[in-house]
Amino acid sequence: MTIQRTAVIGSGLMGAGIAEVLAKSGLDVIVREINDEASAAGRARIEKSLGRAVEKGKLDADARDTALSNLRFSTDIADLADRQLVIEAASENEDIKKSIFSELDGVVTDPEAILASNTSSMPIIRFAQSTSRPERVLGIHFFNPAPVQPLVEIVSSVLTAEEVRSTVTDFVSDVLGKKPVQAEDRPGFIVNALLIPYLCSAIRMLESGFATKEDIDTGMVNGCAHPMGPIKLADLVGLDTCLFAAQSMYEETGDLATKPPVLLSRMVDAGLLGVKSGRGFYEY
């Protein structure tokens, strides 16, 4: 199977980044959004990102224009009927995602089409069971910012066909130029299973008054050679994303290391989401 016709559901921070990656790889991309306003915001997000790449000399103007010409936006899910690969990048809400997969199952006509989720921690099997083709559903988890970060987790459920896993792995590596790793459908997959307890621990340390955010970050950067401290990293990931991931993992495992700190919940309640909102634990 040669994948050429693709789609992304949602054009928020992750969805727009994924759509950009696909478009720059020469693929035909439809981005599905809930309304015209959201579509316009998504297109602007992608145009801004591509513009920055040109300014930094990482992309030439012709490549930018070609990528933009590969993109179409739609508010009608029926327009995805001929897609070979659809990547869901909606908000981290299980009911919303299940509904999207159920809709896609009734719309996408190609029996060999692959339906994927970019979820950072939710069980892939639950989305697969919302379709009549669970063997063709898996996780394709990009990292933020998707156009820059090389890693992609390929997450197979217990029902994902080996041929689907293999096809997507080759596609991510050979077509998108990313570094795929294989993960089982377990809470947090690989990266977040290690990262979320670490971030929660750092936020609890700050919450308790044990150390300042600056000293926590300085300690991990200079003491453990991390490129970024955990508090700044949480801001970059998005505090809402951290909270959703922690909640999902804690609900499924009961592991206290993943229990969301109260401070994290309050920050999200206040709309202080990190870099994407202009303020989190730090100001941007």
Q: Which residues are catalytic?
A: 120, 141, 153, 192
- Give the pair of three-digit tokens for residue 231: 């508090």
In whole angstroms, how large is the CA radius of gyration of the chain? 19
Residue 112 phi/psi, 5° resolution? -95, 0
Integer Cα distance of 202 and 242 in angstroms: 12
In a 10 Å sphere around its CB, with 0-12 CB exposed, 13-18 middle and 19+ buried, how is residue 155 labelled? buried
Task: Identify residue 129 by its one-letter amino acid code.
Answer: Q
Integer Cα distance of 1 and 17 in angstroms: 24
Distances (CA, A) of 155 to 122, 182, 187, 249: 11, 6, 11, 16
Q: Which residue from 240, 259, 239, 241 is spatially nearest to 249, judged by alpha carbons? A: 259
Q: Which residue from 247, 123, 110, 268 is spatially nearest to 189, judged by alpha carbons? A: 123
Helix (H) or strand (E) holding 154: strand 151-156
Q: Is the dihedral of CA 186, 188, 193, 197 positive or negative?
A: negative
Helix (H) or strand (E) holding 32: strand 28-32
Q: Is 179 helix (H, G, I), strand (E, B) or coil?
A: strand
